[in-house]
Structure 1
């Protein structure tokens, strides 16, 4: 008899590396352009704090995004994310490079994406997540879907899900309540 498929919580409990797309996941997907042609993006501070919590819990983070942006470079530097792939035309290849670089297996990775360009990675990872406002084809293939929209707490929601699945949430919350989490502004 074949084994029952893993639940989203079981999949989340195995994640050692959580990878995020940017536009539509860490931002709302909107792009603001100045008269000079520069783009601006808004990031959610709770999402950023969540990424710091992942690192504190021993879960690595990474970014794979199709756009090249100085704004993203500044944000990932602020969050101390060491695995960053910008301007990526082939996300599955960037994912393969990331696996080789980290030595982590695909089954031990999570990925949060929102559109078709993310499916090539989402279908390879052990835990595929999507914001609530993702394209329907992405939602249909995700193991887990947030209640929040991209750029409005979806990444923090997946972080909390991972931390709970790995029984790390309560200890981090207790540390925050006792004031032991200084300097973790998102």
Structure 2
């Protein structure tokens, strides 16, 4: 689904909201003998998240998973709004939007599976990784060419920041 119409939404995005498993990770969980569940995140996705924060965007994570290692990683990138163990994503979404005075039409939400469906149905720009389930692909205005945990987050952030002129300008001050 390479529908060009999604691009008209990019200039109005102020807020990125992401699920974790299947979006920031590839959905694989490695279980150790002690029962700890390990996830792998893409460093390029992390760079894009940090870049978006530095450019003044709101970033929020809403996940049904409750791995505290995920919180540590995301907090380390500067993401303060990390909601783990969330079973009612719509309630958490409305709470976050109200707290930060954000309009839903300015939200890009990326999810990959059925628990994301209700929230994605509300978001201004629902997106998903290339390997999302068919029901999520069907309601997404943009399906990334990247898989979850393999650069899908970087893909959408970079597109928004480039359209808004905040991708390269963000680096020139730091690296010149």
> Does residue 1:77 correspond to 2:72, yes or no?
no
Provide the residue aligned with 2:105 in structure 1.
107
> Does residue 1:34 correspond to 2:32, yes or no?
yes
Contact 1:44 1:151 in 2 (8 A): yes
TM-score (norm 1): 0.89
Aligned positions, number: 173
Cα distance in 2, alignment partners of residues 153 and 173 from structure 1: 19
Q: What aligned pairs does 1:25-64 form with structure 2 within 5 A after superposition?
A: 25-64=23-62
RMSD (CA atoms): 1.4
Q: What aligned pairs does 1:1-186 form with structure 2 within 5 A after superposition?
A: 7-175=5-173, 179=175
TM-score (norm 2): 0.94
| 1:175 Cα offset (Å) | 4.2
Cα distance in 2, alignment partners of residues 165 and 97 from structure 1: 28
Provide the residue aligned with 1:184 in structure 2.
none
| 1:173 Cα offset (Å) | 4.5
Which runs of 4 or more aligned residues in structure 1 lie more than 4 Å from their structure 2 counterparts after TM superposition?
A: none
Cα distance in 2, alignment partners of residues 175 and 24 from structure 1: 33
DSSP 3-state at the match of 2:56? coil
- Structure of higher CA gyration radius: 1
Contact 1:10 1:165 in 2 (8 A): no
